[in-house]
Amino acid sequence: MFRDDFVWGVGTSSYQFEGDRDDVPRGLCIWDTYIEENKARTSGHDAKVACDHIHKYKEDYALMKELGIKNYRFSINWCRILPNGTGEVDMKGVELYRDMIKSMKENGIEPYVTLYHWELPQALEDKGGWLNPEIVNWFSEYAAVVSQYFSDIAKYFFTINEPQCVVGLGYVNGGKAPGKKLPMKDTFQIAHNLLKAHGAAVIALRGHAKQDIKVGYAPTCTVAVPVTDDPKDVEAARKKYFAMEYNPGNWAWNVSWFSDPVILGHYPEQGMEVYKDYLPEITDEDMKLICQPLDFLGQNIYHGYFIKADENGNPVDVPYYPGFPETGVNWPVLPRALYYGMKFAYERYKLPIIVTENGMANTDVISLDGKVHDPQRINYLDRYLSELQKAYDEGIDIKGYFLWSFTDNFEWEQGYHGRFGIVYIDFNDLRRIPKDSAYWYKEIMESNGAKLAINNGMKL
């Protein structure tokens, strides 16, 4: 079981959840442009309404309360409070988020604020976006504004969500906004700028804080899971998880390039060697800026792949067997990814960990009884949370778990395909229907996991 101080919560992000409001206009972000230019890809779906949280936030927090949710990770849309990315602050946007946070708190919900869940102001992208070294100052200015206006009522902050996706999908393979495929050298420059921007934001958040705030970061990756618990396989998986092999088409999809500098103060040696021809100028001062003390490390973990050791102890991929369990968006269901993800990250980085995202997409529908039955999600969560508890029981300092997501929402370039919520949204009329998993999760949170399979003699 988890102890009483364990933080149970749910997550959303602004662009995926909020929608827009005529009386509180905002600046354009790179996703507005991307959707406009890639209508075929997003099935013509856009996020103008999304879940209409922007009109319905009071009901949404009341629903959270009813469902026993006490902690909520959400993001602020940079373009709502700084429409041009820098400069003039839009007080309407500030007031809106302040009202949201106050209303969360009235419902007994603790806010966990993410600064950047991918909504780069288009005005900044037009100046080069993450490739322009000035982004370090732009992001730091934004962080200062957030701290100045919200740190009296919010205590927990994350800088950047999934830097791997920002760089890799945004600029290496173009799968997400701004949808660019830049030369390798530029993408390494982008990653370096992003890491410096993270460091500068940590300083700015703390520098303007009105109380003792706590700051973290929320990277991701697919976990290398040993195919057996034999120490040789475990060691091989660990090696693989932090390795950086030459993989130009997807180089940013790795753990160490984005976490070693932030927490250990240096880039991983293997990556420096393999990619030496593409690196930007990296100074000692840069590394100092990047490596700011953090209160916790966030980890977004959804799935993994199998690794075994060969006769020399080197990692070898083991394919999924035919018919391997998968989610509604074809992601493999591999609960041990959460156990090993926690274990490997904690051993290397030694920071308290918060699972900032975990959950699954399902092909949920409203049943004839008017309810939404999602046994697959309950099964997924029970298995993953049981594995999380295994890591917790072994002494890994896991502070909390934020289920992704509170409701179904705008799944980026997939449009409204891929329902990740524990609350169903009928996108025709925006009705919210808590799924069976929402009631199940309520019991799990209330009992600190007593009802999980692991605590009831079930084989995982």
Q: What angle do CA 44, 357, 6 make, to 5 degrees?
A: 150
Query: 348: Cβ–Cβ under 8 A, 6 or more apart, which residues?
Result: 242, 259, 264
- Interatomic CA distance for residues 96 and 101, integer angstroms: 9
Q: Which two tokens stand for residue 337?
A: 């990814």
Are the C-beta atoms of residues 288 and 257 closer than 8 Å to each other? no
Binding of ligand BGC by 161 (CB under 6 A): yes
Q: Which of 112, 420, 427, 441 binds ligand BGC (CB under 6 A)?
A: 420
Q: Is 46 in the site for ligand BGC (CB under 6 A)?
A: no
Our finding on whether 114 is near ligand BGC (CB under 6 A) is no
Q: Is 52 in the site for ligand BGC (CB under 6 A)?
A: no
Residue 407 near ligand BGC by CB under 6 A: no
Alpha-carbon distances of 231 from 201, 234, 255, 312, rounded to whole Å: 39, 5, 21, 13
By CB under 6 A, residue 14 contacts ligand BGC: no
Nearer to ligand BGC by Cβ, of 186 and 411: the residue is 411
Angle at 97 between CA 93 and CA 101, to 5 degrees: 170
Catalytic-labelled residue, pool 125, 162, 411, 413: 162
As beta bridge partners, residue 425 has: 432
Eight-class DSSP state of 363:
-
From 157-165, 232-240, 257-265, 445-453, give the range in contact with ligand BGC by CB under 6 A.
157-165
Task: Examine the residue annotation and report whether 387 is marked as an active-site residue of this protein.
Answer: no
Q: Is 112 in the site for ligand BGC (CB under 6 A)?
A: no
Q: Residue 437: phi, psi to the nearest 5?
A: -65, -25
Applying CB under 6 A, does 18 fall inside the site for ligand BGC? no
CA distance 176 to 33: 11
Which one is catalytic: 18, 119, 141, 357?
357
Between 382 and 413, CB nearer to ligand BGC: 413
Find the shortest distance in angstroms from Cβ 302 to ligand BGC.
7
- Applying CB under 6 A, the span of 93-101, 134-142, 160-168, 448-456 interacting with ligand BGC comes to 160-168
Residues 6 or more apart whose CB falls under 8 angstroms from that of 194 comprise: 130, 135, 160, 163, 166, 167
Smallest distance from ligand BGC to CB 133, Å: 26
The minimum distance between CB 165 and ligand BGC, in angstroms, equals 6
Annotate each residue in 348-387 with x if it binds ligand BGC (CB under 6 A) or - if it does not, as one string. ---------x------------------------------
346-357: burial string, b at 16+ Cβ within 10 Å, e else:
bebbebbbbbbb
Select 16 or 189, whichever has its Cβ closest to ligand BGC: 16
Report which residue type is found at 259. Answer: S
- Per CB under 6 A, contacts with ligand BGC among 283-302 are 300
Nearer to ligand BGC, 119 or 141 (CB): 119
Task: Examine the residue annotation and report whether 162 is marked as an active-site residue of this protein.
Answer: yes
- The size of the interface with ligand BGC (CB under 6 A), counted in residues, is 10
Residue 175 DSSP label? S
235: number of Cβ within 10 Å: 15
DSSP assignment letter at 260: I
Closest CB to ligand BGC among residues 2, 112: 112
From residue 245 to residue 284, the character string flagging contacts with ligand BGC as x (rule: CB under 6 A) and all else as - is ----------------------------------------
- Shortest CA distance to 139 belongs to which of 217, 203, 213, 216? 203
Tell me the window of 22-30, 161-169, 194-202, 231-239 that interacts with ligand BGC (CB under 6 A): 161-169
User: Is 2 or 420 the residue whose CB approaches ligand BGC more closely?
Assistant: 420
Q: Which residues contact 196 (CB under 8 A, 6 or more apart)?
A: 133, 136, 286, 289, 290
For ligand BGC, the closer CB: 133 or 175: 175
Distance CA 160, CA 113 (A): 10
> Measured between alpha carbons, how far is 267 from 245 in angstroms, rounded to an integer?
14
Selected binder of ligand BGC within 13, 86, 107, 292 (CB under 6 A): 13
Say how far apart CA 145 and CA 98 lie, in whole Å.
Answer: 13
164 near ligand BGC (CB under 6 A): no
Applying CB under 6 A, the residues found at the interface with ligand BGC are 13, 16, 161-162, 165, 300, 357, 404, 411, 420
Catalytic residues: 162, 357
